[in-house]
């Protein structure tokens, strides 16, 4: 032992320095980035063009929306520097950035957990002579990028539109990227530290703590929104409503919040200079930038310290926990699901239960599912607040349009989940296919099992959300029936496309569902799903809208005759049913044919 100690000391002395180790990882990152960029430009041109085009369209749409909104605010409340303008814009900025701040903390923690503790690459890198803090920081950079790009996509059009409307000076646009980047680093670093602490200090309670924290955030947000909208109809969006809302969300303007520093820095940079020579807005904005940068640098050191102190212990403890004794009984949700699936054949029912267990045991999948559908539930539960309980034709028409827009939103979110989680199912079975091949189960049964799992699993929450939206908007019973029928058709068609195309174009080289869904087949499935949703919803939304307007407008009576409208609605439902049959039968037949010939 005495002889090996000097040898180990010499070995550690030969390790690269911190700076050299960082240069090596940056070289690795740049090489991987160049290879991925070359792949996107040569083999994934459709996906790259689609992502760039849709992102540009989304950015321009947000820019136009924010530009119109700030034009209204400036026209009603005056230029920057005036009291009402400053209070209103600060309220909008702080509330917006506080919401994104919480989302950045959650998203960074979830992404870092998946890439740091559940990645084979991390386990391979730990066998190399690499410092723990460098490995954590390497993974933290990935989590920072993937969690913050959405923030820049949402916030940048808002900031640019505000600067153009108020005629901000040139240094506003110079400060803008620096302020946003330094702000983003703070909640992302907090999420990383929180993730490392949970795995290190409370490994067995990590899911319970995260769940309780998420529920508390949702409860606070729901309570705040409910109290904000729980006001007399006559005062909604009026002066009293704005004053009460402004004071009710005063906690979002706390001086200790990074979102407040960012908001104040942007407002100071956009404020025109007063006649007082001592009043320099660019200096005041620079002070807030220094505060953000200093806190970001401190948290950067904290991430490195926690990585050095907690990561290896938490990683070893997590992968060396004593296996718990498995009780020979199924969970309550499995027992309920088995009773609900009693109508299916036994083999199909077992395959559906297998996919259901894999889904509920993967927190990445069900957490994203709950977040998106929870936000929709929060919106649908309060959408009637803006209806103002009036019965004039303008409000009725608006309610009908909003109800179909809500139906389309549910379908679009459902299409993202079928592309992200259902489409890769066949590809993920590739390396385990020899197990299924040994079972007395036909290959067609495997495909149909995944289809029924996707269709049944998506129909229940989607139909419940659409029903809540219709009840809160108080639409007519005819529209409720149409919505439920369209929701059922969307679940069947989207599930069939995801399963069929997944079997037709499997990818057995990748074991990451996100990479499989981001390939050509996943992109094609997402595009076709969006087109299918738009067609099906539009075919029924238009006749329902004219049916609602019958007798209340000056449209020629021939177009609003009840018999003609019933025929139009029946024709729209018939075409929607036909389109659903096509998008169900064609992908499933192609997928079944390809899966029968599959050799793994």
Can you give the pLDDT of all 600 residues of the chain as single tens digits?
444 555 555 555 666 777 778 788 888 888 888 887 887 777 767 767 777 777 788 788 888 888 887 887 776 655 555 555 566 777 777 778 887 888 888 778 878 887 888 777 888 888 888 888 888 888 898 888 888 877 788 888 888 888 888 888 888 888 888 988 999 999 999 988 988 888 877 665 556 666 666 666 666 655 555 555 555 444 544 555 556 655 666 666 677 888 888 888 888 888 777 666 666 778 888 888 899 999 999 999 999 999 888 888 888 877 776 555 555 566 667 777 777 777 777 777 777 787 777 777 766 666 667 766 766 676 666 666 545 544 555 566 677 778 888 888 888 888 888 888 888 888 877 666 666 666 677 878 888 888 988 888 888 888 888 888 888 877 888 888 888 999 999 999 999 999 998 888 887 776 666 667 766 777 788 888 888 998 998 888 877 777 666 555 544 555 556 666 677 778 888 899 999 999 999 999 998 888 887 765
What DSSP string runs through 533-596? HHHHHHHHHHHHHHHHHTTTS-S-GGGG-HHHHHHHHHHHHHHHHHHHHHHHHHHHHHHHHHHH
Could you tell me if residue 6 is inside a domain? no
Q: What phi and psi, each to the nearest 5 degrees, are found at residue 65?
A: -65, -50
Q: In terms of domains, do 125 and 199 share one?
A: yes
Distance CA 287, CA 284 (A): 5
Distance CA 254, CA 95 (A): 11
Closest CA to 265 of 251, 284, 252: 284
Q: What phi and psi, each to the nearest 5 degrees, are found at residue 68?
A: -65, -40
HSE (CB half, 13 Å, CA atoms) of 40?
A: 15
Closest CA to 497 of 538, 526, 463, 520: 526
Residue 330 per-residue DSSP state: -
Number of domains in the chain: 2
Could you tell me if residue 296 is inside a domain? yes
Q: In terms of domains, do 446 and 489 share one?
A: yes
Q: What phi and psi, each to the nearest 5 degrees, are found at residue 367?
A: -70, -45
pLDDT confidence of residue 1: 42
Q: Would you state the structure tokens that stand for residue 134, as one six-digit string?
A: 């460098």
Q: What phi and psi, each to the nearest 5 degrees, are found at residue 299?
A: -70, -30
Q: How far is CA 50 from the centre of its chain?
A: 18
Q: In terms of domains, do 274 and 358 share one?
A: no
Distance CA 48, CA 15 (A): 40
Q: In terms of domains, do 164 and 279 share one?
A: yes
Q: Which residue has the tokens 């005056």?
A: 78
389 backbone φψ class: left, alpha, beta (φ>0; ψ -120 to 50): left
Q: In terms of domains, do 562 and 505 share one?
A: yes
551 backbone φψ class: left, alpha, beta (φ>0; ψ -120 to 50): left
Q: In terms of domains, do 311 and 378 share one?
A: no
Contact 369, 458 (CB under 8 A): no
Closest CA to 161 of 98, 94, 93: 93
Last residue of a domain, one of 272, 299, 315: 315
Q: In terms of domains, do 270 and 358 share one?
A: no
Q: In terms of domains, do 309 and 364 share one?
A: no
Last residue of a domain, one of 264, 299, 315: 315
Closest CA to 200 of 305, 57, 105: 305
Q: In terms of domains, do 285 and 426 share one?
A: no
Distance CA 256, CA 186 (A): 12
HSE (CB half, 13 Å, CA atoms) of 494?
A: 37
Could you tell me if residue 190 is inside a domain? yes
Could you tell me if residue 237 is inside a domain? no
Residue 502 per-residue DSSP state: H
For 522, counting Cβ atoms within 10 Å of its Cβ (0-12 exposed, 13-18 middle, 19+ buried), the class is buried
Could you tell me if residue 225 is inside a domain? no
Could you tell me if residue 581 is inside a domain? yes
Q: In terms of domains, do 297 and 180 share one?
A: yes
Q: In terms of domains, do 72 and 120 share one?
A: yes
Last residue of a domain, one of 260, 293, 315: 315
pLDDT confidence of residue 80: 55
Could you tell me if residue 382 is inside a domain? yes
Closest CA to 113 of 429, 367, 419, 373: 367
Q: In terms of domains, do 441 and 529 share one?
A: yes
Domain span holding position 563: 348-596
Q: Would you state the structure tokens that stand for residue 125, as one six-digit string?
A: 């890198």
Tell me the torsion sign for CA atoms 538, 541, 543, 549: negative
Could you tell me if residue 337 is inside a domain? no
* Secondary structure (3-state) at 278: coil
Contact 147, 111 (CB under 8 A): yes
């Amino acid at each position: 032992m005495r002889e090996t100690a000097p040898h180990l000391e010499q070995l550690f002395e030969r390790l690269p320095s911190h700076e050299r180790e960082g240069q090596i990882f940056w070289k690795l990152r740049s090489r991987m980035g160049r290879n991925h960029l070359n792949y996107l430009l040569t083999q994934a041109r459709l996906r790259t063009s689609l992502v760039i085009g849709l992102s540009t369209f989304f950015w321009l749409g947000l820019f136009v929306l924010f530009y119109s909104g700030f034009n209204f605010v400036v026209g009603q409340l005056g230029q920057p520097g005036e009291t009402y303008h400053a209070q209103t814009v600060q309220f909008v900025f702080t509330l917006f950035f506080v919401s994104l701040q919480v989302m950045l903390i959650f998203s960074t923690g979830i992404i870092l957990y998946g890439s740091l503790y559940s990645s084979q690459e991390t386990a391979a890198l730990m066998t190399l002579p690499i410092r723990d803090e460098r490995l954590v920081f390497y993974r933290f950079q990935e989590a920072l990028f993937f969690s913050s790009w959405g923030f820049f996509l949402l916030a940048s059009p808002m900031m640019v539109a505000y600067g153009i409307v108020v005629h901000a000076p040139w240094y506003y646009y110079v400060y803008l990227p620096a302020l946003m980047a330094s702000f983003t680093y703070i909640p992302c670093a907090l999420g990383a530290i929180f993730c490392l602490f949970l795995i290190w200090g409370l490994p067995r309670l990590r899911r319970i703590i995260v769940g309780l924290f998420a529920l508390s955030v949702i409860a606070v947000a729901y309570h705040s929104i409910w109290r904000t909208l729980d006001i007399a109809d006559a005062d909604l969006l009026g002066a009293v409503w704005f004053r009460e809302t402004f004071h009710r969300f005063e906690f979002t303007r706390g001086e200790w919040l990074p979102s407040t520093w960012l908001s104040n820095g942007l407002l100071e940079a956009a404020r025109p200079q007063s006649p007082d020579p001592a009043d320099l807005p660019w200096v005041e904005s620079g002070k807030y930038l220094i505060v953000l940068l200093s806190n970001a640098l401190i948290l950067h050191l904290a991430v490195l310290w926690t990585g050095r102190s907690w990561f290896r212990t938490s990683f070893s403890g997590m992968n060396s926990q004593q296996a718990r004794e498995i009780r020979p009984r199924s969970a309550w949700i499995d027992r309920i699901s088995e009773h609900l699936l009693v109508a299916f054949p036994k083999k199909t029912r077992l395959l559906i239960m297998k996919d259901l267990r894999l889904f509920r045991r993967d927190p990445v999948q069900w957490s994203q599912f709950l977040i998106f559908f929870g936000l929709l539930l929060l919106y649908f539960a309060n959408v009637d607040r803006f209806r103002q309980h009036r019965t004039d034709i303008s409000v009725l028409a608006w309610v009908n349009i909003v109800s179909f827009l809500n139906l389309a939103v549910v379908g679009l979110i459902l299409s993202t989940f079928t592309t992200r989680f259902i489409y890769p199912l066949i590809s993920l079975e590739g390396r385990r296919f020899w197990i299924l091949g040994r079972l007395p189960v036909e290959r067609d049964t495997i495909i149909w099992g995944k289809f029924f799992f996707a269709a049944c699993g998506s129909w229940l929450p989607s139909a419940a959300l659409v029903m809540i939206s219709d009840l809160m908007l108080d639409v007519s019973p005819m529209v409720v029936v149409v919505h439920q029928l369209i929701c059922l058709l969307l679940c069947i068609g989207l599930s069939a496309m995801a399963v069929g195309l997944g079997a037709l174009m499997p990818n057995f080289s990748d074991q990451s569902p996100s990479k499989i869904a981001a390939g050509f087949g996943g992109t094609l499935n997402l595009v076709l799903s969006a087109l299918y949703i738009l067609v099906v919803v539009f075919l029924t939304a238009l006749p329902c809208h004219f049916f609602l307007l019958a007798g209340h407008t000056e449209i020629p009576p021939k177009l609003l005759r009840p018999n003609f409208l019933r025929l139009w609605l029946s024709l729209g439902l018939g075409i929607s049913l036909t389109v659903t049959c096509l998008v169900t039968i064609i992908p499933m037949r192609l997928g079944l044919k390809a899966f029968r010939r599959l050799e793994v």
